[in-house]
Amino acid sequence: MFFKRLGILAALAVMPAFAQVSSSPVALTTDEVLSPIQHAPMRLHEVPTKNGSVTSENWSGYAVTGSGFTNAQGSWIVPKVNCAKTLEAYSAFWVGIDGYSSDTVEQTGTISLCFLTTAEYYAWYEFYPAASVEITSVPVSPGDTMSASVTYNGSEFTITITNETTGKTYSKSATVAGAERSSAEWIAEAPSSTSGILPLANFRTVSFGDDYTDIANTNYATDSSVTGLISDFGAGVEEITMVSSKGKTEALPSALTTDGSSFKVAWKAK
């Protein structure tokens, strides 16, 4: 499966990805496979006039800003990609700390991708800028309910991801130099290779949060002054719409649900 994905990236002329995947932050185990796909910090497109919103060329969803984040928890339902609409395309769904306005991202999530007309799904983690790692011990299928968390204990970050449908779970810890802990995020992403942002797979709609997954305290975060759901961060809440480099909408988040925890992101264009 890994080498099939390398073939996709090679077709996109991104073979330098081998240089990226050599920099894993920790020794790999039998549960892990290096990935040529990266999950980079947000690439800002512009700040619209609407307060609390931005457009990005690789992220869609919600971020909350603050200081000293120690926890971010999320949940989502793995969407089924429509590979008849988007050949050789990628989409990622994750929860993390950092990356909204900083240079690291501590994150874990799932991938839904298209290899020609064949869909593939898997779980992963990344302590960016180190390599992304596929988690082979947590198989993923469309329709599965996922929960995930990123925590900081004063010296290192720990990611945990669980397939609530199958009961399979996985955790990993690492130190991340330069992590600012200045934001937490719940994101639908167009991943990247070393040559840039990859085409966004048609994931139709992805649902994040307790109101859709029935997993309590998601989507939820803790920083130095706030512990709560997305809306509890008030003026620190940022709604993120994904657009192309020319400003065409590619993925659009809904408003938060009435309890401030949950939202959907709809695919609009590749």
Domain limits for position 154: 2-267
**Structure confidence at residue 3 (pLDDT):** 39
Which CATH number does the domain housing residue 113 bear? 2.60.120.700
Question: Tens digits of per-residue pLDDT, 217-264?
Answer: 999 999 999 999 999 999 999 999 999 999 999 999 999 999 999 999
**Structure confidence at residue 5 (pLDDT):** 52
Q: HSE of 59 in the Cβ direction (CA atoms, 13 Å)?
A: 30
Q: How many domains does the chain have?
A: 1
User: Cα separation of 194 and 38, whole Å?
Assistant: 8
Q: 10 Å Cβ neighbour count for 266?
A: 15
- Report whether 20 contacts 6 (CB < 8 A): no
Read off the tokens for 94: 């994750």
- Amino acid identity of residue 218, one-letter, is T
**Structure confidence at residue 25 (pLDDT):** 56
On the question of a cis peptide bond just before residue 129, with omega within 30 degrees of 0, the verdict is yes
Question: Tens digits of per-residue pLDDT, 157-208?
Answer: 999 999 999 999 999 999 999 999 999 999 999 999 988 999 999 999 999 9
Question: Tens digits of per-residue pLDDT, 60-108?
Answer: 999 999 999 999 999 999 999 999 988 899 999 999 999 999 999 999 9
- Residues 6+ away with beta carbon under 8 Å from 105: 39, 40, 41, 96, 97, 98, 99, 126, 127, 128
DSSP 122: E
**With a threshold of 0.85, does the pTM exceed it?**
yes
- Report whether 126 contacts 15 (CB < 8 A): no
